[in-house]
Amino acid sequence: MPAPTPSTATFLVVANRLPVDRSIDEAGNVSWRTSPGGLVTALEPVMRKHGGAWVGWHGAPDEVVETFEHDGFTIVPVPLSTDEVEEYYEGFSNATLWPLYHDSVAFPEFHREWWDAYQSVNRRFAEKAAEIADEGATVWVQDYQLQLVPQMLRELRPDLNIGFFLHIPFPPIELYLQLPWRRQILEGLLGADLVGFQTVGGSRNFLQLVKTHTPLKVNRDAVEMPDGRQSVSRAFPISIDTQGFRDLANSPEVIAMAEELLDDLGHPETIFLGVDRLDYTKGLRQKVRAFGELFDSGELDPSKSVFIQVATPSRERVEEYVRLRNDIDLLVGRINSHTESLGRAPIVYRHASFGRDTLAAMYRIADVMVVTPLRDGMNLVAKEYIACHASDDGALVLSEFAGAARELKQAYMVNPYDLNGLKSTLVKAGSDDPAEKRRRLRALRKQVNTHTIDAWADNFLTALTANRAL
């Protein structure tokens, strides 16, 4: 086989965003930094291992950026106009699909213009992938912003091996059916040879939908397509680069950072930690309210315990996110102003993005990691904590509505809607018998040691090639 020319690739990832953000310093020099978020954290190591090309938007509206090399793979920027960012990205992706797929915890909006933009942007991504994929290449399409790409790409390039992975939950049928364009999205996804979900529940919802709302025949996890293909749907719970996080957390720099952090905080007895994108699905309001009541009632002593919450700024132009940001600012301010002590505030809240080393230092020192989404595809933060927390005395409080709860069964489980239950579990996790904590954390560690991001990608890609070979 001839060697691929530099402008084509045998392995492609297609995702809404590129894994890098552009930053321009005062002198006008351009550099690219890893962008935050679960999808990038997960797929970056996969790309470094496989090489190939990553097709995605570079984050600057109305600008065309040339293809370039980064960290051993090719970055292929797809341009978006200001209107498209508003309608396809902030609109249809993040104000229609995101809330709808997360149990409608915020009200999804349906606008026909947003749908039009979603279709035309999906077509642009499909055309770009079709242009640079080698004959018979593997193309791995990512997430809810690009659900039409598999079918569009198949029409352009039937020779390709097309996989799709949904990073967020696939909703129950009754919710999905609200979508005016439900048929088109279903057909879009079925263009893939393999459709991957975070949990068995997600793939079950999807297959049930195909069975009950299309004339297509479903054979266990395979949908028989009219063109003779099979489109297989299965769960592939995503994970992290466990060893990479552990090495980072054990590095001398991070250990020093952790010591410094402890000094700054005044060496409290118990550190509770939350790390989230600032998103209404993450249960931040519930979490902060629970701590407010615990500090208020004296069940947690502010001179002995602290709750650190860091929240990455996210989707700041979408209305619900602005409201959430204001709510949390207000809530934290009110709780902190209540405490009598003039020392450190009981809730240390930072609305900022941090480097991975700082996060690792925080995971190292956190006695209790608090992960309370109302609904979450997986939640990588829970796994990052387990990989980074070096000693056996840590505890993970985890919402039963995170995909991660299906695997991390020895966590202290909570229903974040049940405030009293959440409060008592937080107290229990902070003060439980050390032997019990050790038992739980060791079991959790075993899980993230054996289920890594490498294994996730290998499982998906092996299943994708196997299906194509049928």
Q: Which residues of the chain form contacts with ligand ADQ (CB under 6 A)?
A: 36-39, 41-42, 167-168, 238, 275-277, 310, 312, 353-354, 359, 376-381, 384
Q: Which is nearer to ligand ADQ, 50 or 282 (CB)?
A: 282
d(CA 196, CA 404): 16
Least distance (Å) from ligand ADQ to the CB of residue 48?
16
Nearest CB to ligand ADQ, comparing residues 415 and 424: 415
- The least distance separating ligand ADQ from the CB of residue 102, rounded to whole angstroms, comes to 8
To ligand ADQ, the closest distance from the beta carbon of 7 in angstroms equals 29
Least distance from ligand ADQ to the Cβ atom of residue 118, Å? 19
Q: How many residues does the chain have?
A: 470
**In the bound complex, what is the minimum distance in angstroms from residue 37's beta carbon to ligand ADQ?**
4
**Closest CB to ligand ADQ among 134 and 320?**
320
Given its phi and psi angles, is residue 126 left (phi above 0), alpha (psi -120 to 50 degrees) or beta? Answer: alpha
Report the nearest approach of ligand ADQ to the CB of residue 40 (Å): 8
CA 315-387-249 angle, 5° bins: 85
For ligand ADQ, the closer of residues 209 and 398 by Cβ is 398
Q: Which is nearer to ligand ADQ, 160 or 318 (CB)?
A: 318
Position 72, amino acid: G
Pairing relationship of beta strands 347-350 and 305-312 according to DSSP bridges = parallel
* Residue (35 or 231) nearer to ligand ADQ, CB: 35
Q: Which of 359, 382, 379 is nearest to 369 (CA)?
A: 382
DSSP sequence for 248-274 = HHTSHHHHHHHHHHHHHHT--SEEEEE
SS3 286: helix
Query: Residue 376 carries which DSSP code?
Result: B
Least separation in angstroms between CB 290 and ligand ADQ: 19
State which residue, 223 or 370, has the beta carbon closest to ligand ADQ.
370
As a whole number of angstroms, the distance between CA 263 and CA 266 comes to 5
Residue 28 backbone dihedrals phi, psi, to 5 degrees:
90, 10
In 3D space, the residue among 226, 186, 187 whose CA is nearest the CA of residue 206 turns out to be: 186
Measured from the CB of residue 166, what is the shortest distance to ligand ADQ in angstroms? 9
Q: Choose among 10, 73, 88, 82: nearest CA to 40.
A: 73
> 8 vs 312, which CB is nearer to ligand ADQ?
312
| Lookup result for tokens 């979508």 | 179
- Closer Cβ to ligand ADQ, 36 or 79, answer by number: 36
CB of 235 to ligand ADQ, least distance (A): 13
Q: Which residue is nearest to ligand ADQ (CB)?
A: 38
Q: Give whichever of 384 and 407 is closer to ligand ADQ, judged by the CB atom.
A: 384
In DSSP notation, 380-448 reads HHHHHHHHH--STT-EEEEETTBGGGGT-TTSEEE-TT-HHHHHHHHHHHHH--HHHHHHHHHHHHHHH
Least CB distance to ligand ADQ at residue 169 (A)? 8
Q: Which CB sits closer to ligand ADQ, 67 or 352?
A: 352
DSSP for 57-94? E-S-TT-----EEETTEEEEEE---HHHIIIIIIIIII
Please, are residues 312 and 355 in contact by the beta-carbon 8 Å criterion? no
Q: Any residues with CB less than 8 A from the CB of 95 and at least 6 apart, and which?
A: 108, 109, 114, 318, 319, 320
Smallest distance from ligand ADQ to CB 371, Å: 8
Q: At residue 193, what is the residue type?
A: D
Q: Give CA–CA dist 308/201, Å, rounded.
A: 32
Using the minimum distance from each CB to ligand ADQ, give the nearer residue, 10 or 94: 94
> Rounded distance, CA 415 to CA 290, Å?
12
Report in angstroms how near the CB of residue 41 gets to ligand ADQ at its nearest: 4
Pairing label, strands 9-17, 53-57: parallel
